[in-house]
Structures are given as structure tokens and as C-alpha cells.
Amino acid sequence: MTLHSEIFEQPERLASLLDRQKQTVIDIAKAIQSHNVSYAFLAARGTSDNAGRYANYLWGAHNGLPLALAAPSLFTYYQSPPRLQNALVVGVSQSGQSPDIVSVLEEGRRQGCLTLAITNLSDSPLAKAADYVLDIQAGEEKAVAATKTYTAELMAIAMLSAALNNSEERWLELGNIPKWAEQTLALDSAIARISERFRYMSQCVVLGRGFNYATAFEWALKLKELTYIIAEPYSSADFQHGPIAMVEGGFPILAVAPTGKVQESMRDMLTRLRQQQDAELVVISDDKDVLSLAQSQIQLPPQIPEWLTPLVSIVPAQLFACHLTKVKGYDTEKPRSITKVTETH
């Protein structure tokens, strides 16, 4: 099992999660609805923190549920946890091993909050600290760089949103995710060729906005941990507030810009970067006009609802990072300085 093969497992794993855990998610949603939950308080690190960014947008937009991303050091080093009255306290961790994430759920329980663990190990310390456990059932992930566990976390977050809304339409839309992911994987060879163009890239910016703000962060993280380049993620809005000044001719900009409410903003930014600043653009989108701005184009399947695009758009980004790692002569299975399980305090 390799990083590349685990990327290709994702359609099957997502379909299985949707099928096997739907009732569990519905039961968790009912428990949330029966409590006086005013907001979600989510603790995570690394890739799982990027899944939390998706939850921030999705649960806010579709469920009216404000979300605060926890600062776990307040619970460990500072021993000064905030008041969590009426919070749904959520821990997201593939391994469920990190003591600082566990400490947030333990404190949530102490304060009488409803607690939920989203994890790939149902008998982990994080799971044992939670009232409810949503096992993402991604199977063993041997590659150090998380791929299938990330999309499974996104699927779990999206399923919970659909259940909280009791929306059959959104459940039906979720059912299309494995098919869309499969279609995107068919671009593997084309993405491998695109990656060769960036053999000598040492720095880049990754742009996304709205639901795909999370995708920008996750794509940048994969590039950092696998190819060791300086990859800085930004909202296209934040990028205008100063960082855009670093762009000069040939500067690489990677962008995720599927059809949706923020696409016009992304299009305007990409037009400026290409026409005025001569940036080197890699764009993931389903829109031909947006793709036409890029020297390197990665086309998503059409008609994906915007709220679900992060589950599909990250797949070509994972492939790009995987192939670029090989092009640069690095080992996709053994990134330097990091291990599969990171335990922070």
C-alpha cells in the first residue's frame, strides 16, 4: 500500500462510510438537537484542523451553527480552558492519540458539554473521552501523508450537516461523491504531466475561498510535507491585503475555484494575477472560463454542489503533490522529519 494507492482507495472508502455510518450520524444529530447546543467548539491538528476549517463554513452556512476552532494549549500548558457552556465539543483526529486534543474533550465533559470524536480508531483515547464516536472507517492508512482519512473526515462532517437538516436532498447529493471522486482520479496521468512543469518550484501560494478555504490549506500542507517547498495558503480575499505584493513574473499560484458563490471573486483574482502580474497558474475548477486563465488546467466533474466541492477538489491536489514528490526525486512514503502519528501536548 502506497500514498498513490491510498489516494485511489477514496471512492470506495467514501461510499462505504456513507453506507455504514448513516444511521450512526442520524443518531448523533438527534442527540445534538436534544441538547441546548449553541455552537460547536472543535479541536484538531494538522490535516484534521483543515477538516475543521470545512466544518466552520459548512455547519455555519447550512446549519446555523457557529464554530470556534480550539486553542488546545489553553487546556494543557496554560491550564486555563475557556467556558464552554452550551457547546458541542468536537475532537477530530485520525489516530485519536494526541493528548492535547483529548484534553479538550475531557474538559468539555467536565463542564457538562456534549462531546463528539471523529476518528479512524474507535478505541483510541479520543474516542474514550467522547460521549459519541463517529468512526470514519477509512481503514489502515500507512502513508505518512494523510489522504483517505482527510476525505473521510470531510464526508463525516458533511453527513452530520445533512442529518442536522434532515435533508433527503443533501443525502442524495452526498451519494454522488464516490462517482465524482472516481472521475477525478481518471486525470492521474494528466496531472503527472503537469507536475513535471514544476520540478524546480521552491515556493508557491495556494488560493481558495469559502468552502474551499480548507482545500487551499490542505493542498499547501501536502506540498510542504511531501515536497518540502514553501507553500503558503490564503483566502483570495486575504491575499489582496498585502501578500499579493510578492507576486512577480512566473511566480507559481495554485488555486481551487469551482462553481459557486465565491467563484467570481476567485476569477477576478486569477485574472489580475495572470494578466497584470504574469503569474504561473495551476487551477482546479469545473468552469472553462476560469480554467482558461491557467497555464495548467485541472478540470473537475460538472455540477458538483458547492458545499461538496472540497471532497472532490482535494483529490487532484493530492495527486499533484504525490507526482511532484516523485518528479523532485523524493520518497512519497518516507517524508523527512515526520511520522504517521504525532502526539502533541
Instruction: Name residues whose C-beta falls within 8 Å of residue 25's C-beta, 6 or more positions apart in sequence.
Output: 134, 156, 159, 160, 163
Copy the grid coordinates of residue 84: 464552554
Identity of residue 112? G
Evaluate whether 172 touches 301 at the Cβ level (below 8 Å).
no
Evaluate whether 60 touches 197 at the Cβ level (below 8 Å).
no
Q: Per the residue annotation, which of 30, 142, 261, 340 is the catalytic one?
A: 340
181: enclosing H helix or E strand: helix 177-185
Distances (CA, A) of 224 to 141, 234, 257, 335, 340: 19, 15, 21, 10, 15
- Residue carrying C-alpha cell 499579493: 244
Instruction: Name residues whose C-beta falls within 8 Å of residue 47's C-beta, 6 or more positions apart in sequence.
Output: 94, 146, 149, 150, 153, 218, 221
- CA–CA gap between residue 21 and residue 15 (Å, rounded): 10
Distance of CA 199 to the CA centre of its chain: 25
- CA–CA gap between residue 110 and residue 232 (Å, rounded): 38
Evaluate whether 25 touches 181 at the Cβ level (below 8 Å).
no
Copy the grid coordinates of residue 293: 486563465
Give catalytic status of residue 30 as yes or no: no
- CA–CA gap between residue 246 and residue 256 (Å, rounded): 20
**DSSP result, 12-80:** HHHHHHHHHSHHHHHHHHHHHHHTT--EEEEE--HHHHHHHHHHHHHHHHHH---EEE--GGGTTTS--
Active site residues: 340
